[in-house]
Structure 1
Amino acid sequence: MRRMGDIQGTFRVKRIYEQPEIDDGFRVLVDRLWPRGVPKESAAVDLWLKDVAPSTELRKEFNHRPERFADFSARYRLELDSNPAVETLLVLAARHSRVTLLYAARNTEENNARVLLDYLLGRPPG
Structure 2
Amino acid sequence: MSVRVRRIYEPPEPDDGLRVLVDRLWPRGLAKDEARVDEWPKGLTPSSELRTWYHGGGSYEEFRSRYEAELGAPEAAELLDRLRKAARTGTVTLLTASKKTGESHAHVLAELLGG
1:101 maps onto 2:111 in alignment: no
1:120 maps onto 2:101 in alignment: no
* Between structures 1 and 2, the one with greater helix share: 2
Measured on the aligned residues, the alpha-carbon RMSD in Å equals 2.0
Structure 1, unaligned runs of 5 or more: 1-8
For 1:60, what is the secondary structure of its paired residue?
Answer: helix
Aligned partners of 1:71 and 1:88: how far apart in 2? 23
Would the alpha carbon gap of residues 83 and 16 (structure 1) be closer, same or farther in structure 2, given more than 3 Å must change? farther
Q: Kindly indicate whether the alpha-carbon contact (under 8 Å) linking 2:5 and 2:101 is maintained by their aligned counterparts in 1.
A: no
Aligned partners of 2:61 and 2:43: how far apart in 1? 21
TM-score (norm 1): 0.79
For 2:27, what is the secondary structure of its paired residue?
Answer: coil
Name the residue aligned to 2:66.
Answer: 75
Structure 2, unaligned runs of 5 or more: none
Code of the residue aligned with 2:40 in structure 1: it is: W
Deviation at 1:89, TM superposition (A): 4.1
Aligned partners of 1:32 and 1:75: how far apart in 2? 16
TM-score (norm 2): 0.86
How many aligned residue pairs are there? Answer: 113
Deviation at 1:105, TM superposition (A): 0.6
Aligned partners of 1:93 and 1:114: how far apart in 2? 14
1:110 maps onto 2:103 in alignment: yes
